[in-house]
Structure 1
Amino acid sequence: MATKFNPVTPELVDELRKVVGDKYVKTDDDYLTAYQTDEEGNSYYFHKPEVVVFPGTTEEVAEIVKLANKYLVPLTPRSAGSGVACGAIPVYHGIVVELERMNKILKFDADNMYAVCQTGVLTGQLQEEARKHNLLYAGDPSSAESCQIGGNVANNAGGNKAVKYGTTRHQVYSLKVVTPTGDIVTLGARLQKCSTGLCLEQLLAGSEGTLGIITEVTVRLRPLPPYNFNMVCVFKTDEEAFALPNKILKAGIDPTSIEFMDNEALKITCKFLDMPMPHVDEGCDYVIVTVETFNEDELDRKMETLCDLAEANGSIDEFEADKRIWKLRKQFAEAARNLDKMFQTEDFVVPLDKIADITKQIPELRERYDLYCVTVAHIGDGNIHVLPLNVKKLSPEEWFEKIKAFHRDLFPRVYALGGKMSGEHGIGYKKLEEFAKCTPEGELKMIKAIKKALDPNNIMNPGKIVDMD
């Protein structure tokens, strides 16, 4: 594997311009600075590319990849740059391949419930188009209005509807991909079942741009349930709140989502939005449950059952949520960023019955590492977001070291409970070291062998997930 790369030369820049046109090759410092990070706010991680290229077709992407191999220059695929694991940061500089121009829904087939999208289509745009036809695109990350379909697939984005519909990979029929050597391949097919060869489209989903560049995605659409409710259950303690998801699922309520916000998260978001909400000043937590059905009587029965379960579990109040609740949940990250642009977004995941076991250890970790943390979670699928905030204004280097120490203590506890360090954000560059330490040697060997076989020159988003050195 190549461990040293060549710099971008004027000759390479000229060849890139021949592929995409002068207008779509950027080397001026303003552009390069804008692409030195994604949503990461800690400058410790920033790396500036040497050139940013904006292809408009799959064929142009393939030519760019071939040039990267020819000149032995690393490239970093980038969609909207909304990730928080440093996955779109060009660790080894080189070329950033910005895919925002490839932003068309190429086909929308309402009768057969599928769509073909270029990689740069906004997730929210696809959701809106589906709703016009009484259909649902079930991928629903909190950043849906700004993130893009290709990036969602590359990171296997989760989101609020994963309890019922799964993560982004469960919405994928097939992918058009440019391989690390510049071939154009279509992986998967619009089938309900398939046992023909390897499931390569699922290998690419979640590979974080290390095994190829996704240029088109064929997604499955679903009927949009006409009846729904969003219920807020209010709890005085985290333990009571965390015991609810398993009981909801065992009762056959089949929720679309079960979200949690602790009191600190509620307070900072209510303040950020200047939007008072019930029981927040009393120190309570929220569990937000969404249920969708095709039958109104069924919806009423499920709502009644949910209220009974919540009350039996210690809920002091239940109220039907209006649009403010989802605004509160989806704006939480912006509220955290408003307090600290270097905030750390953990997204570890554990089995549902282990949520309380891991979260009750957080106060100890907060005290040990002198951290102020707030917590939100997709507790219907065990995905916990603990966010340490740098409220003491440590330097980028000091904050980096503190978080690394926190991770060295946190992640072994997560794995001891049968969990993993990332439920939806990925490993990227940010958790490279931790992933290597927590992953069994045999699994790491398999990942590296796949990477080496598909990307012999290691030019495709190097320095992410595993260190090939």
Structure 2
Amino acid sequence: MDLIRLFSDIISLERIVSKSELLDKYSTDESSIHFSQPLIALLPKTTEEISKILAIAYNNDIVVVPRGLGTGLSGGAIPIKPSIIISTELMNNIIEIDTENMMIVTEPGVITGNLQREVEKHGLYYPPDPASLDSCSIGGNVSESSGGPSAVRYGTTRDYVRGIEFVTPNGTIMHFGGKVRKDATGYNIKDLLIGSEGTLGIITKLTLSLIPLPKFKYDMLIAFDSIDDAINGAIIILRSSIKPSTIEFMEKRAIEAAKEFLGNEMPVQKGEAHLLIRLDGDNKNEIEERMISTSEIVKQLTGYEILIAENSTQQEKLWKGRRSLHDAMVKMSVKREREDVVVPISMLPKLISEVHKLEDIYNVPVIAFGHAGDGNVHINIIKTKNDNGSFDKYYNEMIKKILETTVYLGGKLSGEHGIGIFKKEFMHLVFTEEELELQRKLKMVFDPKNLFNPEKMLP
């Protein structure tokens, strides 16, 4: 089948990628796993173009893989079967910033950080802040139900989606929701699309709610003598009236990795665990009172060396350790496996303890850090340059045990990165066969031919 000829009546040839060297970037994502190149990649600019492309693909039984900007970590945008990629990277326009209703209407290819900066010009705030916010797309965030450090107070991407336009696998354009903050009209189809990882349709337009931009923000970096005290501190703070917008944590091995990478630039070099707390709001005196309350709580535990940042320069220094972790682990590793699990907050110390038991058993380094405010942990299994073969021999077994432990502790397989290719075989740890079958039937309602991003998410 001549795919270029099939689709060239819909989009121009310069937006059809067919050369092997150019298709390689559509064969992987940030997980660095490579399955196979797509047959072609199509770069539409409008909803109507996507609708026509999908109608043709559906009628010709062509497998389709939707794609944003390829920053995912679960393999969700990687082709497995012979497929065409439909990338929304050129659908990158903000359509409207509605300051009266505090809403933004946007195409899916807009970079999340750019969207945040645009609404801030109007005194508004879009809180979801995934680590890759300066490279990921807002459509990808919705497809993965992304989170970020600010989720502890402000919620995740899901909490801001008010309206959604998408195209079904057969090319039908659908609209659900809109510029309303309450909607009890019909089934909540909008929320089915959020976190569906491109298996039910392609998102082409989003209406997102905004909030007023906080006038002030203060950061606190606190070292503790134990991970238990750090997490207990986080729990006490969350149960208080302090209302932090961020509570990040780094356990000892993460602190050591950042220290090795940053040297003297590491803001606090001691401690078995660090908490990084942000307090924001419109009343400076009230925020300072919340800081005093936070300091009193942590001093009752083993919290010490409390650093406070009041301006952007100071805050950048305080966040340097946390934000350096990606680069630090890239430098120290030949390869790494990244898990994104979530447990009840009180179970964080137990999870980290069990993870480090695996490190001792298999002689493979493990580094954990993440969002203490909502129990979301990023666990990195590291293959160092000095690895003696243990990583390749044991990492699959380690992943299995980490996920089994997570579920045993009342957690879930993913907090914000999604299931994709890599975790679908473990979905039975969370769901019964009847529950999985219900989800398969739901997928078939949207995609009866199973042409849309097949072999993802569901076993």
TM category, shorter: over 0.9
Residue 302 of structure 1, CA deviation? 0.2
Q: What aligned pairs does 1:52-71 form with structure 2 within 5 A after superposition?
A: 52-71=41-60
Deviations 1:56-91 (A, max 9, x none): 101111112112212212111111111111111111
When structure 1 is superposed on structure 2, of 209-218 and 242-251 the one drifting more is 242-251
- The answer as to whether partners of 2:219 and 2:276 remain within 8 angstroms in 1 is yes
Q: 1:205 aligned to 2:194?
A: yes
Moved more, 432-441 or 74-83: 432-441
Asked if the contact 1:412/1:438 (under 8 Å) is kept, the reply is no
Matched, 1:166 2:155: yes
1:15 aligns with 2:6: yes
1:410-449 aligned within 5 A: 410-449=402-441
CA distance in 1 between counterparts of 2:208 and 2:52 reads 26
**Aligned length, in residue pairs:** 454
Q: Secondary structure at the match of 2:116?
A: helix
| Residue 341 (structure 1) shift | 5.8
Residue by residue, what CA displacement relative to the aligned partner does 1:94-142 show, whole Å, maximum 9, x if unpaired? Answer: 1111111000000011222110010000000111011111111011101
Distance 1:400 1:170, change over 3 A: farther
TM-score (normalizing by structure 1): 0.93
- The RMSD of aligned alpha carbons is 1.9
CA-CA distance at 1:275 after TM superposition: 5.4
Within the candidate set 101, 112, 115, 2:104 is matched to 115
Mapped to 1, the partners of 2:353 and 2:380 lie a distance apart of 15
Provide the C-alpha distance between the structure 2 equivalents of 1:60 and 1:412, rounded to a whole number of angstroms.
44
SS in 2 for 1:360: helix
Structure 1: state its 5+ residue gaps. 1-8
One-letter code aligned to 1:36: S
For normalisation by structure 2, the TM-score amounts to: 0.95
Other-structure match for 1:376: 369
Q: Distance in 2 between matches of 1:272 and 1:250?
A: 35
Aligned to 2:312: none
Residue 435 (structure 1) shift: 1.6
- Counterpart in 2 of 1:326? 319
Return the letter of the residue paired with 1:434.
F
User: Paired residue for 1:355?
Assistant: 348
User: What is the distance in 2 between the residues matched to 1:330 and 1:66?
Assistant: 43
Provide the rounded CA distance (Å) in 2 between the counterparts of 1:104 and 1:331.
Answer: 31
Note the C-alpha offset of 1:425.
0.3
Q: Structure 2: 5+ residue runs without aligned partners?
A: 310-314
> Which residue in 1 is equivalent to 2:181?
192
CA 1:33–1:174: 2 relative to 1, 3 Å: same
Query: What is the rounded CA distance, in whole Å, between the counterparts of 2:74 and 2:449 in structure 1?
Result: 24
| Structure 1 Cα separation of the partners of residues 18 and 274 of structure 2 | 48
8 Å CA contact retained: 1:40, 1:342: no
Q: Deviations over 1:201-238 (max 9, x none)?
A: 11100000001001111110101111221101111221
Counterpart Cα distance in 2 of 1:273 and 1:54: 40
Match of 2:299 in 1: 311
Paired with 1:105 and 1:404, the residues of 2 have a C-alpha distance of 42
Tell me by how many angstroms 1:266 deviates: 2.9
Whether contact under 8 Å (2:333, 2:385) holds in the other structure is: no
Distance 1:336 1:104 in 2: 34
On the 8 A contact 2:248/2:370 being kept in 1, the answer is yes
Structure 1 letter corresponding to 2:293: T
Q: Which residue of 2 aligns with 1:3?
A: none
Partner of residue 401 from structure 2, selected from 370, 390, 409 = 409
1:248 Cα deviation after fit: 0.3
Q: Could you tell me which residue of structure 2 aligns to residue 28 of structure 1?
A: 19
2:74 alignment partner AA: A
2:282 maps to 1:294 = yes
